[in-house]
Amino acid sequence: MASGSTASEEERSLRECELYVQKHNIQALLKDSIVQLCTARPERPMAFLREYFERLEK
């Protein structure tokens, strides 16, 4: 492989990523942010998303 990593290393890395996403409920957070974005349809979508995630941290 050109990258020097093996298939098993890549699989392990992918599993670790999937566990991380599940642990922190990332998929649901992203889905909700997109639903909110599509509902509001703001002129400045990036600013809307930034503010959306800032509100989540408070």
Q: Is the pTM of this model over 0.95?
A: no
Q: In this model, does residue 4 exceed pLDDT 50?
A: yes
SS3 40: helix
Q: Domain 7-57: which topology?
A: cAMP-dependent Protein Kinase, Chain A (1.20.890)
Q: Which amino acid is at 29?
A: L
Whether the per-residue pLDDT at 15 is higher than 60: the answer is yes
Q: What is the mean pLDDT of the chain?
A: 92
The CA–CA distances, whole Å, from 13 to 7, 17, 19, 20, 24 equal: 10, 6, 10, 11, 17
pLDDT in tens, 28-50: 999 999 999 999 999 999 999 99
pLDDT of residue 54 exceeding 60, the answer is yes
